[in-house]
Amino acid sequence: MSNLSGGMNTNVGEFQKNEDESDLIRNGQTNKIGWIQKRLGYATQRGDDVNTGYKILGMHSFYPTSGLIRQYAVADGASNSDVYTYNPATNDWTPHVQALTTASKCEFTTFLDRFYRVNYTEATASNNGTAWSTTVNVTGAPLARYITPYLNRLYLGNCQVGATEYPSRVYFSSLPDPTTSLITWDTTSTGNWFEVDPDDGDVVKGLGVNANRLLVFKENSLHRYDTNTRYQVPGCPGTVSQRTVKNIQGFTLYLHSSGVWAYDGASSILVSRSIQPYIDGMSSISLGEACAYVKGDHYYCFIGNVINSKEDINEDNVLLDLDISKKAWTIHNLADIPTIFIEFRDDRSEVQYDASDVTYNSADITYDGGISAESRTYIGTKDGQVWQFLNGNSDGGTPIRFEIITREIYLENRDAIKNLYKLFVYTRKGTSLIVQFKIDGGEWKNLGPLNRETTELRFPPGTRCRKVQLRFSEYTTAQQPTLEALSIYYKTETLTR
């Protein structure tokens, strides 16, 4: 077997699985064709706790044209929540003393060189990276749960005006003034807003943009809007969480209670059938807390604990991982509970202007002090921490459990008995892996540890079976072991009538 990167398939019979598919890939990724590599963790915390023991309610990255680089987090507290700015000079979080309502999620977006905050309880606010305002570009704006820019306007979904709630309404701003670049809001009965099926018993759960159209997600329906007409996309559900709505390779992916769906600009398709038993085990309580991010050609979606007793699945803190290019799923188990993921173009170059060995007027020195283009992923957690994700070989100091269970391998003829002799395992940095096997659905037995990149293991004498299954596992902080290929040496017994 030289290609192991087909991902997990837990939703078909054994005879229908492809040769490159596995029964389980835990904390492994299919980044390269053929390989399964242990994922990176989050070993670097961003400063101290933002507010120890209190949930991160929102995060945002901001890069105005002034050259500022800002990373913000909203943390809950005993009597109120607050916005904090990360200070790289002190490696700490500075509070804004906003006294926001406890437990109110904050959603952010950037528009017209400012960023905007909504949380449905406080007035919609804007910030230029220096100071908050409830007037600049937000005078008269409704309270809202969701916010996004689209075609030179700002859109707010699931709103409240005065004391009246409009859970199925979307408001939008004016176009920017050509002289001042300011926007205004008209929330009157003939103002800038539209309803999204207000009598269907559902509410707006998120906003997005795809194929030059605004997407409005209710939980069980998806709508697109082109500034003139709203159109319900037939046969497509909406989302359970705004924070799972992410764009990747022309698709908008999002989580519904039925699974992960991909919208292509015209319609949506269910893309999570191969891991349906995990979808079926999602808790309805945690669906609204689901969150996702994209990195490269991977879509990651945190769905919390998964319990499916019919399929013997009981997993904590599950992060689903879809490799879009290979259509391959794996699962990860995190040590912490994320509430949000964001991308942040982090800090500045490591080149220092006071380095004694650098001549700054030399023609060979091309660094101009600009910010690094590297984008890094950060997670905010339920316990008030911010971690750099995909960094290090542990989850905040907790070893990562790496496990691969292959499909049931029949070795050509599924009816014949085979005598198993040797297993060759090809790895990179794989000496921490332990190998087990089971035959014909029996109990797991130890085959041995791996001791080099190519390891030969011998099956016990007299090992006979129709099918064999292999398990590779380790629970360490070892540096990303990778399983590349495996070969089984066997002899088939002659079939008789």
Q: Is 363 exposed, middle or buried (0-12, 13-18, 19+ CB in 10 A)?
A: exposed
> Do 146 and 135 meet the contact criterion of CB atoms below 8 Å apart?
no
pLDDT digits (tens, 9 = 90+) for 73-131: 999 999 999 999 999 889 999 999 999 999 999 999 999 999 999 999 999 999 999 99
| pLDDT at residue 359, rounded to an integer | 43
Work out the pLDDT band at 42, boundaries 50, 70, 90: very high
Average pLDDT of the residues in 340-355: 64
| pLDDT at residue 413, rounded to an integer | 86
DSSP string for 351-404: --TT-TT--TT-TT----SPBP--EEEEEEETTS-EEESSBSSEETTEEEEEEE
pLDDT digits (tens, 9 = 90+) for 209-250: 999 999 999 999 999 999 999 999 999 999 999 999 999 999
| pLDDT at residue 313, rounded to an integer | 97
| pLDDT at residue 368, rounded to an integer | 43
Average pLDDT of the residues in 155-181: 98
Residue 361 has pLDDT above 50, yes or no: no
Average pLDDT of the residues in 190-214: 97
| pLDDT at residue 360, rounded to an integer | 41
DSSP string for 88-109: TTTTEEEE----BPTT---EEE
Residue 1 has pLDDT above 90, yes or no: no
| pLDDT at residue 375, rounded to an integer | 87
The residues, ordered by sequence, that sit 6+ positions from 255 with a Cβ below 8 Å of its Cβ are 239, 240, 241, 244, 261, 287, 290, 292, 301, 303
Identify the helix (H) or strand (E) that includes residue 488.
strand 482-492
pLDDT digits (tens, 9 = 90+) for 257-315: 999 999 999 999 999 999 999 999 999 989 999 999 999 999 999 999 999 999 999 99
Determine the Cα–Cα distance for residues 57 and 37; give it in Å rounded to an integer: 32
Work out the pLDDT band at 373, boundaries 50, 70, 90: low
> Do 169 and 193 meet the contact criterion of CB atoms below 8 Å apart?
yes
Question: Over 2-30, what HEC string results?
Answer: CCCCCCECCCCCHHHCCCCCEEEEECEEC
| pLDDT at residue 358, rounded to an integer | 41
pTM: 0.93
Q: To the nearest whole percent, how much of the chain has pLDDT over 70?
A: 94
Question: Residue 279 gets which letter from DSSP?
Answer: H
pLDDT digits (tens, 9 = 90+) for 477-487: 988 999 999 99
Determine the Cα–Cα distance for residues 372 and 348; give it in Å rounded to an integer: 5
Average pLDDT of the residues in 463-492: 95
Work out the pLDDT band at 496, boundaries 50, 70, 90: low
Work out the pLDDT band at 12, boundaries 50, 70, 90: confident
316: its two tokens: 């904590």
CA-CA-CA-CA dihedral for 383, 386, 387, 389, to nearest 10? 100
DSSP string for 450-461: --SSEEEEEPPT
Work out the pLDDT band at 351, boundaries 50, 70, 90: very low
Determine the Cα–Cα distance for residues 244 and 146; give it in Å rounded to an integer: 13
| pLDDT at residue 347, rounded to an integer | 53
Identify the helix (H) or strand (E) that includes residue 280.
helix 276-280
**Partners of 24 in the β-ladder:** 405
The mean pLDDT value of the chain amounts to: 93
Sheet holding 143-150, edge to edge: 143-150, 153-161, 164-172, 193-195
What number of other Cβ atoms are within 10 A of residue 441's Cβ? 11
pLDDT digits (tens, 9 = 90+) for 399-449: 999 999 999 999 988 899 999 999 999 999 999 999 999 999 999 999 999
